Amino acid sequence: MTCYDEAFEKAQHALQVARQIGRVPYSEWRFSAARQALLEGLEIAIRIGSHFSQVWASWLLADLLRWQGEYELALQNGNLPLKSR
């Protein structure tokens, strides 16, 4: 078996796994749990005055909201660190 044959088999296996993963519904990805954890982390960061943590949590929350199609909320949360300066 050549390296090409091995690579082709690995690629076929990777494609099969990707197709199986693609069948997982969004609800099982636990977006709501991640969103709640980020909101709690952001609240703590604001309370203790950690600007780095505020920026990081806001950015992650904005990305999560963007993935869920909530673009307006994503923009609001993405701009939150700018307001706290």
CA 38 to mean position of chain CA atoms: 10
For residue 6, the model assigns a pLDDT of: 79
For residue 36, the model assigns a pLDDT of: 87
Among 16, 19, 64, which residue's Cα sits nearest to residue 39?
A: 64
Counting the structural domains of the chain, the total is: 1
Predicted confidence (pLDDT) per residue in 27-59, tens digit: 556 787 788 888 988 888 888 988 888 898 999
For residue 10, the model assigns a pLDDT of: 82
Among 17, 62, 14, 18, which residue's Cα sits nearest to residue 38?
A: 62
For residue 26, the model assigns a pLDDT of: 54
Which residue segment(s) compose the domain that 24 sits in?
3-83
